[in-house]
Chain A
Amino acid sequence: MEIQDIIKPENLVYSKSKLQVDVISHYCPGCSHGVVHKIVSEVIDELGIQEKTIGVSPVGCAVFAYNLIDIDWQEAAHGRAPAVATGIARTNPDKIVFTYQGDGDLASIGAAEILHACNRGENLVVIFINNGIYGMTGGQMAPTTLVGQVTSTTPMGRTVELNGYPLKITELIAQLPGVHYCTRQSVHTAATVRRCKNAIRKAFQNVMDKKGTSFVEVTSTCNSGWKMTPVQANDWMVEHMFTEYPQGELKDNDKKG
């Protein structure tokens, strides 16, 4: 059998979403970002909302998300994506607006912006990548870094005395009446990727239906920052991160009453 005999449409078992731009990704092999980008691309494509969707990229590893997903994008200052997205969504109620933020961006420098945008119930999707570390700047402590976790600014491990506790911002966000849907997912197995995609699809659908803020945390790995192999990182995440950041739905107003 020749290779041409195999490359046929009927034999296709996997392809990139057509919204994924055909460039080499800048993400490290094993990083969760790539999978989440793929999910976001697929969801936007499947919902048929490419022409209506505006993404707001953060400062952090996902700063270049605009090079990877084929929609209109705006690059926000560190932490300000929810305010930027508010400005877009308020003046363009016909658009589907989402932010894509890391833990340093969303839970540290942008804590005020995310809380207030969610509290106003802005009609936004928020995708929150929580890997407990600053990836782009070289592995410093994040607000979600676990107690004892080694980073370049906690070389002996995070201590409560010096740095306080990991910030469970997703639990905080879920409390806010403006938030319609709040969930915590991961993408380390095929099954969790499917579940995460369902959650992200639901979040986008909620915004299309103008239901208010839909917040999806993706508990993620940063194998480079954590100084592990991708497989070790996945195991470490399950063992340590999932205890601090339990997986599953925190809130779904559709299921109320």
Chain B
Amino acid sequence: MTEEIIIAGFGGQGVLSMGKILAYSGIMEDKEVTWFPSYGPEMRGGTANVTVILSDTRISSPVLHEFDTAIILNQQSMDKFEKAVKPGGVLLYDPNGVIHPPTRKDIRIYKVEGTRAAVEMGNPKVFNMIVLGGYLKVKPVINLANVERGLQKSLPERHHKLIPLNLEAIRKGGEILEAN
């Protein structure tokens, strides 16, 4: 199994940390992982994206021109990465911030109303975990117990009290997932 994912949105949406939790969860499941971010000034408020690769075997390129899954959180990223999904692959997006929904017919497209659900949950910060939950519902590449262990490893001790909330957000994401 090799799963190549691009997560793209604005800086501040938790793009990089979503990728990090996914990657750490992969380690908990004994997978090889690579987390490759865009870095530099663009991170500060501009667009941010991260490539996450999970695999049972040695991982080759961190730089990819096509992906198994694209998780897209703003219009700029939609413009850039909709075309980079492999035929038959998955595109998952939050319609909040996406003006022109994806149009490809040769890929599987899913919607997660993460922004709205996060507000409903009373904590906009869990937005990225809701989206992650949607992704894990579509592609259960990692067992939820390992995601919890991944959270424990990637969050600093002082934030461990937030783990139950994050897990709830992940479950919520799975519930509100809609296929296009």
A and B touch in the complex (CB under 8 A): no
Binding site for A on B (CB under 8 A): none
Binding site for B on A (CB under 8 A): none
